[in-house]
Amino acid sequence: MSSVEQLIQDSRLWRGKHYRDDHSQQTGNSISSGITQLDQQLHWRGWPLHSSSELLCEHWGIGELSLLMPLLKKVSHKGRIAWINPPFIPYSPALLSQGITPEKCLLLYPSESDQWWAAEQVLASSAFAIVMTWFTRQASNATPYRRLQAAAEKGHCLHFHFRPLSSKQQSSPARLRIQLSSSASQLAVEVLKQPGGWSGQQLVISRPESLLFKQQAVEKWPVYHSSRPSYQVVNGRTDIPSIIDPQHSDRLNDDQSIIHQPSSSAPTQPH
């Protein structure tokens, strides 16, 4: 292989024009996201390997992790996953329901002064297939992000860095930058930067039904079911059902917060 061909296949080289769609499959520079819609918009047909990818979110909890779930599921069976400073504590039953092995996940909460150092050490350790980071303080220049990119290359792991949308205008050495925003039960995606191809691609991805939380009206909450017993105040005392020990009735009667309206066919209302 000539030196020119070796240079062209180097993942650090960004090419400003299109080339064959199967290029990524030939060079092994990417891994499928598991989401066909997204792979079709990424020039390398997946997440770039051994590098940093940034996901810029308008706020946390819009379903940003749903974009990584297929990959996390695939990787957790044979590699480990590091979560550094996630804004919410990962819920083991939810991970299991998505096919992710909690035992393969490491959760780290370094201090604000140590989070950059900790992320760099984890990335370069070669002990993790995927490292995800959320930093409580953003760097004012690109140097720390460049160090994370270099550490991901050294450790041969995938790095996903979640950043606030306010960081969009800042320069970044990350090979792939994606903007995420909430759109009802869907996730709006825009490619801001990608290796070897153009940016600006936009798509909308439906989030899995199992990841959506649909709040019910208060009237449908089980605790306010009409079968719930109600109490009456008779001659200054509370008519308490027999399931409550009578010796404690005076104490309960003094607590006005548990004295409800006289019984009726309507359900009792919250205070």
Rounded distance, CA 3 to CA 54, Å?
A: 31
Mean pLDDT, rounded, of the chain: 78
For 193-212, how does the pLDDT look when each residue is reduced to its tens digit (9 = 90+)? 998 888 889 999 987 776 66
Q: What domains lie within the chain, and their CATH numbers?
A: 19-208 (3.40.50.300), 218-258 (no CATH)
CA end-to-end span of the chain:
77
What mean pLDDT is predicted for residues 126-144? 90
Considering Cα of 198, then 28, then 79, then 32, what sign does the dihedral take?
positive
For 9-20, how does the pLDDT look when each residue is reduced to its tens digit (9 = 90+)? 666 665 554 444
For 211-253, how does the pLDDT look when each residue is reduced to its tens digit (9 = 90+)? 666 656 656 656 544 444 544 555 555 444 444 444 444 444 4
What mean pLDDT is predicted for residues 19-35? 64
Residue 132 near residue 146 (C-beta atoms within 8 A): no
For 142-176, how does the pLDDT look when each residue is reduced to its tens digit (9 = 90+)? 888 999 999 999 999 999 999 999 889 888 889 99
DSSP per-residue letters across 89-110? ---HHHHHHTT--GGGEEEE--
